[in-house]
Amino acid sequence: GFPYGQQVLLQHGGLEILRKVFDRNDWQSLTTQLKIVSLLHDLLVERAQAEGERQQQLSQSKLDEYVVTDGWCPAVSSLLAAASFDRRDRRYDMSAALRSEMPLRPDHDTVDKVIAAMGSMVKVCRYQFHETLPLLRSLAKTYEDLAYKEQFQNDDDGGYALFKSLAEMISRLVQDIREKNEL
């Protein structure tokens, strides 16, 4: 049957309400924002992978339209600032936390979720994402460097695979944004 939960979420302004969580600019909201971004990503991926009758049903929901009109493109891309790396000492992260500011070095899971969401949104958010290209390139370089350093470590804790995967994911996103903007 029709994805009733998605229909209700969209028709009753659920995405718009969830979007308002991004109006708060503090690190305490980051966890909730990432959960919302993951939900949005899952909805978009489900829609993109659907086939047959399910695809027709999901296409009626106009999710792409809501993503653009409700301001999701800048909301999600703004989380890249939370995913950027700062070369300062770790103690600054603690002082930021004590002052209720955004930490300087969020975990790699944050980067993964934001980049995955942006990848699923690039079709409808290509122009808004264009301004993130410098930061995306910087993140890709950071992860390439981390992967390079990690490959020479004696312990195989999965760091190399993680960093390499993130670097490739970010590079793909950069390419998708550039290709879409060249049309």
Please write the tens of the pLDDT for every residue from 4-20: 788 888 888 899 999 99
What pLDDT digit, counting tens, does each position of 75-133 carry?
Answer: 999 888 766 654 334 444 444 444 444 444 447 888 999 999 999 999 999 999 999 99
Query: Looking at residue 134, what is its pLDDT?
Result: 93
Please say whether the beta carbons of 65 and 125 come within 8 A. no
Indicate whether 43 pLDDT > 70. Answer: yes
User: Do 136 and 181 touch, CB atoms closer than 8 A?
Assistant: no
pTM for this model (two decimals): 0.82
Instruction: Report pLDDT for 84.
Output: 63
At residue 182, the pLDDT reads 55
- Lowest mean per-residue pLDDT among 41-50, 57-66, 79-88, 111-120: 79-88
Ordered DSSP codes for 53-83:
HHHHHHHTT-HHHHHHHTTHHHHHHHTHHHH
28 pLDDT higher than 50: yes
Residue 141 three-state SS: helix
Instruction: Provide the sign of the torsion angle of the four alpha carbons 37, 117, 150, 157, taken in this order.
Output: positive
> Amino acid identity, residue 87?
R
List, for residues 127-174, the tens digit of each pLDDT value.
Answer: 999 999 999 999 999 899 989 988 887 777 788 889 999 999 999 999
Output helix, strand, coil percentages for the chain, rounded to the nearest 5.
75, 0, 25
First vs last Cα of the chain: how many Å apart? 37
Report the alpha-carbon distance of residue 17 to residue 12 in Å, rounded. Answer: 9
- Banded model confidence at residue 2, pLDDT cuts 50, 70, 90: low
Going from the C-alpha of 132 to that of each of 78, 174, 178, the distances in angstroms are 9, 9, 11
Mind giving me the DSSP string for 34-60? HHHHHHHHHHHHHHHH--HHHHHHHHT
Check residue 75 and give its pLDDT: 93
Q: Write down the residue that tokens 């390079």 correspond to.
A: 148
45, with CB counted inside 10 A (0-12, 13-18, 19+), is middle
Place of tokens 């409808």: 124
